[in-house]
Amino acid sequence: MVEVLRGNLAQLSLLDILRMLSSGRRSGRLDVRQGTKTGEIYLQRGAILHAVAGPQIGESCIYTLMGWLEGEFSFTPDVPAPERSIQAPTEQLLLEAARQAEQWADIKEVLSSTDVVFNISPSGSTSTISLKPIEWQVLAQVNGERSVKEIADLLELQEFDVAKIFYSLTSAGLLYEVEGGKRSFQEIVQESFFEGLTENFNEVMGPIGPVIIEDEIKMMGETRDAFPQSKAAELVERVSLEISDSGKRAEFQKKMLALLRG
């Protein structure tokens, strides 16, 4: 079966994709993947009719999927919805999703990704804090090993709601981010990769090169000291798009390909 639209959620948000499909009055199935988790959203002539992700189904599922800031999506046209689980008008759904997306923007200042691991701050807060039962449940699961996403799964809560709690607990000084966290289980690029990237990029772009590289790393939701190997080529490609001369861009990519292939 052929899919005609595919991409990465880090580059195009689910909200933007749904807006595009809805305004284009598209019909079909939008598959969303984040690691081993998958979700499906069905549209008929631009209207969102059905959504499912694991045990979750319907409108709330849309908001959960909106919280997937990383992952992949693909749209397969003309796949009919197996059932109708969403009655709310699509405009209303997208408005609520947009509101949540704005909140995500604030949350992301503290929480770059739901893969991030937190621990309880030994110094704690300097003022009196009262916690709601749900906040206490989340706090009780923080152990310096579980990611935000894993805690949401464990408590069977929406990632968005859990992320909001992490945002407020971190802002209150109760939690701190564990450096490296999940990344320790992934393959991290060697510093020599960044040296090569910076050297080759600087040759073309001059002193602005390192600034662009740092910006792209940040936009990918990563850090230089824990940058995953699986995203190295993507980073090279992203920075190379800043080179306007196609010949110089190809030359830079050639050098970087040699570096990436070792």
Binding site for another protein (CB under 8 A): 1-4, 6, 74, 230, 233-234, 236-237, 240, 246-247, 249-250, 253-254, 256-257, 260-261
Shortest distance, position 205 Cβ to another protein, whole Å: 17
Between 75 and 167, name the residue whose CB sits nearer to another protein.
Answer: 75
User: CA 25, CA 32: separation in Å to the nearest integer?
Assistant: 19
> Which CB sits closer to another protein, 118 or 194?
194
Indicate the residue among 18 and 232 with the shorter CB distance to another protein. 232
Rounded to an integer, what distance in angstroms lies between the CA atom of residue 197 and that of residue 174? Answer: 38
End-to-end Cα distance, the chain: 36
CB of 97 to another protein, least distance (A): 24
* Least CB distance to another protein at residue 94 (A): 22
Pairwise CA distance, residues 260 & 7, whole Å: 22
In whole angstroms, the minimum distance from the beta carbon of 41 to another protein comes to: 17
Looking at the Cβ atoms of 226 and 233, the one nearer to another protein is: 233
Q: What is the DSSP string of 79-115?
A: PPPSS----S-HHHHHHHHHHHHHHHHHHHHH-S-TT
Report how far apart, in Å, the C-alpha atoms of 210 and of each of 5, 88, 195, 229 are: 33, 47, 10, 19
- 109 Cβ contact list (under 8 Å, min separation 6): none
Closer to another protein by CB, 110 or 260: give it: 260
Contact in structure between 228 and 183 (CB atoms under 8 Å): yes
Continuous segment of H or E residues that includes residue 144: none
Distance between CA 204 and CA 212 in Å, rounded? 12
Count CA within 13 A, CB hemisphere, residue 47.
11
Q: How far is the CB of 219 from another protein (least distance, A)?
A: 14
CB of 225 to another protein, least distance (A): 21
Closer CB to another protein, 92 or 230, in the complex: 230
